[in-house]
Structure 1
Amino acid sequence: MKLTDFVVQKAIIPNLKATSKEDVIREMVAGLKDAGSIKAEDEEAVVAAILKREELGSTGIGNGVAVPHTKHPSAEELVATVAVSRTGVDFSSLDGEEVFILFLLVSPPDRPGDHLRGLENISRHLRGQDFCNFLKQSSTAKDVWELLSEADNSDEEEEE
C-alpha cells in the first residue's frame, strides 16, 4: 500500500491555520469533506470520533508528528490527508513537543487491515528525519504530493 493510494491529494493542507488540537482536526476533516472524500453530513461525526480516539491517548507520537485517526462507518475506503503547521500545535504529544506534521486517517470499521497498513506505512516514513524535514519545508500541496510520491518510489526500489 502506497501513501498516494490513500492520501487525498485535494485535501492536503500545506499551511494549517488552526492552532488547537480540536481545530486542527476540524480543519483536516473539512479538507477531506471539501475534496469529496467525506460526506458533509458525516463531517461532525468523523470529527467527534477522532476527538474520542484522542481522549484514549494522544496520537502525537513525538518528533513533531501526530497521526490522528479513526474508523468510521461513513468511510467507504481508507482516506487520509496531510497537514503542515508553520507555528506548531500543542497535541499533548508523548515527548511534550509541539506538532508540525500531521497525517489524519479515516477508514471503514470492517477493514481493520487497511487501517493498520495505512498507519504502519505513515509511521515508517515519519521515522525518517529527511522525510520529516522535507515535509516541514513543503510550501504547497504539490510539494507535499511530490514528496509522498518520492517516498512511494523509494519503497518500490527497496522491495526490488
Structure 2
Amino acid sequence: MKLSSYLYPELIAMDLKGDTKEELIKNLIKYVGEKDFKVKERYQEIEEAVLKREREISTAIGHGIAIPHARIDGFDEFIVTIGLVKHPVEAQVAGTAEKDDIQLMILIISDVLKNKNILKVMSAFSKIALRNPKLLQQLKAATTPNELIKLIDEANIELDHKITAEDILSPDIIPAYPKNTLEEIAKRLILETKTGLPVVDEKGSFLGEITERELIQFGMPKYVSILNDLNFLTVGEPFEEYLLKEKIATIEDIYRKKSEIITVDRKTPIMEICFLMVNKGVTRIYVIENGMYRGVIQRSDIIKKVLHI
C-alpha cells in the first residue's frame, strides 16, 4: 500500500498556525474535526490523548518534522493529516537536548490496535527526511493539497505489513572512530545519555562498539581479575591509569570487535529482534547493510516505537 493512499486533500492544512507546538497540534486537530465527523464527535478525547502522548516524549523528529499521534479505543478510522507551518515553531527533538523548527506536522489518529500502521507512516516520513531531502523541501514548499499529495504519490513510497529493523532503528546516533580518545568518548556518553556507541572506520564500515564497560575496565589494574580480595585497592588513587591517559589514549585497542556483537540487517522482523534482546540479554542491536553501519535499535526503541507508540 502506498503512503499517498492515506492522504486526502481536504485533510491537508496549507497554513497551520500556532505560537507553540501544542497550539499547532490543537489547531490541526480542530481543522480535521471540521472535515471529519468522527473526529469532531470525539474531538476532546482525541486532543487530550495526543497532547498526553506529546508530554511523555516529543514527536519532533528533526528536519522540520513533527508527528503527533494517538491511539483511541474504538476509533474505527485511520487518519493521516498534514499541516504546513508557514511560520516555523521551535520544539525539542525527541530524545535529545536539541531544538528544531517545525515546518511540517503530520497528525495520525487511529484505533488502539493500529500501532503497526502508525509506525509504518512515521517510518515513511522519517525516511523522506533522512534519504530524500529534495522531496522534503518540495513538500514544505507545496502550495496546494493536491500538489503535496502528488509529490508523495510520485515518490512511490510503499508501506508493507511487517515491522522490521528499518522501522524502529535510530539512524541519528553518530558513530565513534578508533582514533577517538577515552575523554572524547566519555564526554559523548555523558552528554548524549548513551551507554554505548557504534565504532566505524572512515568509510562507515561497522567495526564494533565502545561502551561504559570498556572505559571502566581500562581504568582498573590489569591484575584485578585474578584476585579474590580487593580490599587493598582502597589505598591509592582509583582509576589512576585512566586519569593519566584519558586525553591521549584512544579506543582502538579496547572497543569490542564486531565478531562479538549481535547485528541484523534492515529487513529483520521485529519479533526476531525482540527474541535476540530477551534471550541473548543484549540492550542494543546494530543494523548493518553490506558491512556499513545504518543505525542502532535499543530496548527503549521497542518500548517507545512499538509497545507505547
TM-score, normalised to structure 1, is: 0.86
| Corresponding residue of 2:6 | 6
* Greater percentage in helix: 1
The C-alpha deviation readout for 1:26-79, integer Å capped at 9, x for no partner, is: 121122222216332311111111110111111111111111111112521321
| Corresponding residue of 1:81 | 81
Q: Which has the larger radius of gyration?
A: 2
How far apart in 1 are the matches of 2:86 and 2:39? 28
Between Structure 1 and Structure 2, how many residues are aligned?
155
How far apart in 2 are the matches of 1:37 and 1:123? 29
| Corresponding residue of 1:107 | 110
Equivalent of 1:140, from 144, 152, 163?
Answer: 144
Letter of the structure 1 residue corresponding to residue 152 of structure 2: L
How far apart in 1 are the matches of 2:52 and 2:134? 32
Note the residue ranges of structure 2 that are not aligned, 5 or more in a row.
160-309
Deviation at 1:83, TM superposition (A): 1.1
Task: Calculate the aligned-residue CA RMSD, in Å.
Answer: 2.0
Q: CA distance change for structure 1 residues 26 and 71 in 2, over 3 Å: closer, same or farther?
A: same
Query: Which structure has more RCO (C-alpha within 8 Å, separation ≥ 6)?
Result: 1
How far apart in 1 are the matches of 2:110 and 2:91? 22
Letter of the structure 1 residue corresponding to residue 103 of structure 2: F
TM-score, normalised to structure 2, is: 0.47
Equivalent of 2:99, from 85, 96, 100?
Answer: 96
How far apart in 1 are the matches of 2:78 and 2:30? 16
How far apart in 1 are the matches of 2:101 and 2:44? 25
| Corresponding residue of 1:72 | 72
How far apart in 2 are the matches of 1:107 and 1:149? 22
Note the residue ranges of structure 1 that are not aligned, 5 or more in a row.
none
Letter of the structure 1 residue corresponding to residue 120 of structure 2: R
| Corresponding residue of 1:123 | 126
Equivalent residue runs for 1:141-156 within 5 Å: 141-151=145-155, 153=156, 155=158
Q: CA distance change for structure 1 residues 113 and 155 in 2, over 3 Å: closer, same or farther?
A: closer
